[in-house]
Structure 1
Amino acid sequence: MRRGQGRHYRIALVSDFFYPNSGGVESHLFQLAQCLMERGHRVIIITHFYGARIGLRFMTHGLKVYYLPIQPFYNKSVLPTIVGSVPVLRRVLVSEQIEIVHGHSAFSTLGHEAIFTGALLDQSTVFTDHSLFGFADVSAVVTNTFLKFSLANVDHCICVSHTGKENTVLRSGVPRKCVSVIPNAVDTQVFQPEYSRDPGRIRDSKKVVIAIGSRLVYRKGIDLIAAIIPRLSEMTFAHGVTVDFLVGGDGPKRILFEEMIEAHDLQSRVTMLGELPHAQIRDELLARADVFLNASLTEAFCMAILEAVSCGLTVVSTKVGGIPEVLPEKFIYFVGPDVLSLETGLVQAIKDVINDRRPTKQACHEFVSRAYNWRDVAERTEIVYDRLMREKPATLARKVRNLWETGRVAGPLMAMLFLFCHYWIMLLDRVYPIKLNKETTKRPYL
């Protein structure tokens, strides 16, 4: 039963990407869940298992997390079967009496399949897109085609930037009126500046430390960073200051860094920290640095630069996607996605840090605290939920028609698959009825 505005809902946030994995989507899910629970909603998170973390777990404030027994297939996402995940998603969504299914990330197969299953169960569905995609390369064509089928019956989409909204509308065909823009935020209580690293101590230490924190994959501009590190390592700035690098993150491009370090004998200048738990990013990476470098080739928002500014760092970032919407120019140096532009921007940033020509750490932290607050994100997301719960759900015939019209060949096939899953769920309801879970007691973290 859909309810009116101002009521408390039962919500499932679903994505392949969640703790103990670290990243922007993972942090978004956790913080959004905590703030929605604070506002009185009952929230669960659904993801696939991570190593020994499988089954039901409880996190901070009794947040219930289902680590489903589904094997990750590629890049921490499960294999897109649609049919294979319907029974287990049905069991969780029905037993928890979920009213709103909220999938996250275009890269998350599980998020898309949860939206598909939620539509079958006549639950409200929401999708948050955290990424930007092109239209020409093979991977983008495949992803965009899959997204068009996945969002054929979604009730509403949320994008983290206005650039992301335009991109999602073009890729998926979702009506513009059904897409909202709600930016990410930062937990500024965690990402506090390290005041002992004030600009006045730079000349004494003779070091400016540049931090890089991201997945080591092509779209994060890792090839550009690997090319720029040897060039900056050869430079000496005013007062004999040199540059060191801290690299947090892991991925297929890590071998490129290791080869670069070996080829240029930079073992003492470049420290590889590996993949860091989100709780350690501030202490192990940002608190030890003066400048943060983001070289992404495409980015819808980029939470990493917000976390860096919240910690008082000077940020140098490529001017791509939705990044120009995130920070005013007084807090960031915008550069092009090429080696020469990166070098120019970094050299200027380093000189300004040495000469104390940057906003104070406190000013940086206060700006992020005011502009990007998770409670504000949760409140705006709740407005979307209220709107959906006032709307009349689409009929089965309408949902089948929506899928049928997504393509000449694949559209009818997806429509027939949707009908098949509909009758399969009816059979499962009769053969394997589900006992509703009425547990509301909060349990401690396990």
Structure 2
Amino acid sequence: MASEPSAPRRGLHICMVSDFFYPAMGGVESHLFNNSQCLMQRGHKVVIVTHSNGRRQGVRYMAGGLKVYYIPAVIVYSNASLPTFFCTFPVFRQIFIREQIDIVHGHQAFSTFCHEAILHARSMGLKTVFTDHSLLGFADTAGILLNKLLKFTLSDVQHAICVSHTSKENTVLRAALDPQLVSVVPNAIIADQFRPDPGARDPRWITVVVLSRLVYRKGIDLLVVAVPRVCQLFPRVRFVIGGDGPKRIDLEQMRERYMLQDRVELLGSVRAADVPRVLVRGDIFLNTSLTEAFCIAIVEAASCGLLVVSTRVGGIPEVLPRHMITFAAPEEDAVVAALEEAIERVGDRHNHPELSPQRFHSQVKNMYSWHNVAERTERVYRKIIDLEEPPLIERFRRYYGCGLVAGKLFCLVAAVDYLFGIILAWLWPAAGIETARQFSHETYCALAARPRKPESAPPP
């Protein structure tokens, strides 16, 4: 007797939450947008919740019908919002119910919205996933405090995702997690948007490109001391530096002190659409990060045909093949020496066929794909969606194990949040909250692919 065909699995309703999203720029922002687009193409519903950014407030629709909630919030540092603990619960609850969310997926340990959304989602009995995009130490005060917060959040999530194996080891140690509850899903790029353009380079110069947030963690202090030394050693080398942040003033002062205005170009903040146009101007891409879980910028640079010079930190050694990248210790002399080696290789490119920009592009295109990232992320969702919900006492037991003092505090926070959820359910019952209309991704794609009729000429 033939078995009956299995019913198709329904698409999941997923809410991505992070303080870091467009119009701000960075690897987390790119990951959220591109992964969400591919998940929607796989038949899932995805909405993103982030804080407002200037005039970007309320509900917006982006490419592919991606729905984004920009919630008003006070920004305190590095685009992260002010912690409010329970004040965001009414807003998050309304969104989760309106959008009929199954899984809440928080991104980035530095994001206040991420931690609060996961806490509120667990109080509502929703499944949760956390993706860690950064590495943190264990010795400094900020790292210790954030590690304790991360342990609180990850004590009650169904699964965690890291962007590299080094990041996984770091997260497992910081949050005392079972390694089986952590998966590795790397970042990716849309390689067709990062194509080499030999005509964009100035043949009179060897151009070193830097695209980064200008903050201490990105090693801008190393950049400040390395640039004048390299310019002195190589008269034909210039630097193009894009990005903004508190360390920009140090770069401006360095340029003035050594009179390098004609050899160091500071672009300021660079829009996402302009990143490929900046990269193709260069021969070498320089990354001086002091800590990095993955570094998507070096993948974009390699796809554009640039030879990469990077500090050997975090998960960076896992990202690119050895012939595409030159490593340096996070020290001034080591960075200068690595740049010297890269400049000599680029200057003698005709004797190094492995440095072909087109070859770099085709190799990167075969290595990284957002569709592969979305498929692996979906496997995590399918793995946890049918897990049995633990009793409330089990949640408290997990929080209590976070430390002698912190465990009791975490239990108190979870209990207050749970009681607050009961009060909200009494004041605004779920049955009285209007559900959002479902956006048809298939219809959107069909209409977008339909050829447009030529516009008629205006009457005389």
Give the structure 1 partner of residue 199 of structure 2: 196
Rounded Cα–Cα distance in structure 2 between residues aligned with 1:117 and 1:420: 11
User: Does structure 2 conserve the Cα–Cα contact (< 8 Å) formed by 1:96 and 1:436?
Assistant: no
State the superposition RMSD in angstroms: 1.6
Shift of 1:206: 2.4
- TM-score, normalization by structure 2: 0.91
Q: Distance in 1 between matches of 2:426 and 2:233?
A: 72
Identity of aligned residues (%): 46
**Deviation sequence 1:204-250 (CA, Å, 0-9, x none):** x32011001111111111000100100111123xxxx6111111111
Correspondence for 1:299: 292
Aligned to 2:46: 43
- 1:98 — aligned with what? 101
1:333 aligns with 2:326: yes
Report the Cα distance in structure 2 between the residues aligned to 1:143 and 1:416, rounded to whole angstroms. 19
1: CA distance, partners of 2:199 / 2:39 = 35
Cα distance in 1 between the residues matched to 2:422 and 2:386: 26
Equivalent-residue separation in structure 1 for 2:389 and 2:91 (angstroms)? 23
Shift of residue 306, structure 1, vs aligned partner: 0.2
Q: Which amino acid aligns with 1:26?
A: E
Whole-angstrom CA distance in 1 between matches of 2:84 and 2:175: 20
- 1:284-323 to 2 correspondence within 5 Å? 285-323=278-316
Whether 1:354 aligns to 2:347 is yes
Is the aligned partner of 1:23 residue 2:12?
no
Q: Write the deviation string for residues 256-289 of structure 1: whole angstroms up to 9, x where unpaired.
A: 1011011111111111111112111111x20111
1:70 and 1:219 mapped to 2: Cα distance? 25
| SS of 2:364 mapped into structure 1 | helix
Report the Cα distance in structure 2 between the residues aligned to 1:300 and 1:441, rounded to whole angstroms: 34
> Equivalent residue for 1:212?
210
Q: Does 1:110 align with 2:136?
A: no
Provide the C-alpha distance between the structure 1 equivalents of 2:198 and 2:429, rounded to a whole number of angstroms.
Answer: 58
d(CA) in 2 for partners of 1:42, 1:217? 35
Q: Match of 1:53?
A: 56
Establish whether residue 140 from structure 1 lines up as the match of residue 138 from structure 2. Answer: no
Q: Which amino acid aligns with 2:244?
A: D
Instruction: Give how far 1:197 is off.
Output: 4.9
Query: SS where residue 397 of structure 1 aligns?
Result: helix
User: TM-score normalised to the size of structure 1?
Assistant: 0.94
Deviations 1:271-314 (A, max 9, x none): 1111112111111x201111100011111100000000011101
Q: 2:262 aligns with which of 259, 265, 268?
A: 268
Distance across 1 between alignment mates of 2:436 and 2:88: 24
- SS in structure 2 at match of 1:134: coil
Cα offset for 1:411? 1.3
Contact map agreement 1:61 1:442 (CA 8 A) in 2: no
Q: 1:9 aligns with which of 12, 30, 36?
A: 12
Residue from 219, 222, 227 that aligns with 2:220: 222
Counterpart of 1:363 in structure 2 is: 359
Residue range with higher mean Cα deviation, 429-438 or 254-263: 429-438
Amino acid across the alignment from 1:432: W
Aligned pairs for 1:380-419 (under 5 A) are 380-419=376-415
CA distance in structure 1 between the partners assigned to 2:392 and 2:99 by the alignment? 23
Instruction: Give 3-state SS (helix, strand or coil) of 2:15's partner.
Output: strand
Q: CA deviation at 1:423?
A: 1.5
Deviations 1:398-419 (A, max 9, x none): 1122112211112112212211
Gaps of 5+ in 2: 1-6, 445-460
Quick check: 1:231 aligned with 2:234?
Answer: no
How many corresponding residue pairs? Answer: 432
Cα distance, 1:98 vs. partner? 0.6
**Take 2:381 and 2:8, find their aligned partners in 1: how far apart are those partners?**
8
Q: Secondary structure of the equivalent of 2:210?
A: strand
User: Per-residue CA shift, 1:306-361, capped at 9, x if unaligned?
Assistant: 00001110100111111110011111011111111111111111111111125211
Among residues 77, 87, 93, which one is paired with 2:80 in the alignment?
Answer: 77
Offset at 1:6? 4.0
Instruction: Report deviation, 1:438.
Output: 3.7
CA distance in 2, matches of 1:217, 1:431: 45
Q: Which deviates more, 336-345 or 79-88?
A: 79-88
**Aligned mates of 2:436, 2:275 — CA distance in 1:** 37
> In structure 1, how many angstroms separate the alpha carbons of the residues matched to 2:240 and 2:98?
46
Task: Find out whether 1:182 has 2:167 as its counterpart.
Answer: no
391-400 or 99-108, which deviates more: 391-400
- 1:72 deviation in Å? 1.5
Check if 1:245 corresponds to 2:243: no
Unaligned runs of 5+ in 1: none
Amino acid at match of 2:340: V
Post-superposition offset of 1:195: 2.8
Distance (whole Å) between structure 2 residues aligned to residue 162 and residue 347 of structure 1 = 30
SS of residue in 2 equivalent to 1:189: helix
**How far did residue 75 of structure 1 move?**
1.2
CA distance in 2, matches of 1:32, 1:436: 28
Partner of 2:131: 128
Q: Does 1:170 align with 2:166?
A: no
Alignment check: 8 A CA contact 1:5 1:387 kept: no
Runs (4 or more) in structure 1 with deviation over 6 Å come to: none
Residue 387 of structure 1 aligns to a residue whose secondary structure is helix
Question: Alignment partner for residue 416 of structure 2, among 416, 420, 429?
Answer: 420
Distance of 1:76 and 1:52 partners within structure 2: 15
Change (3 A) 1:412 1:5: farther
Alpha-carbon deviation of 1:433?
A: 2.7
Q: Tell me how far apart the structure 2 counterparts of residues 441 and 148 of structure 1 sit (CA, whole Å).
A: 36
Are 1:18 and 1:26, in contact at CA under 8 Å, matched by a contact in 2?
yes
Secondary structure in 2 aligned to 1:349?
Answer: helix
8 A Cα contact 1:235 1:242, kept in partner:
no
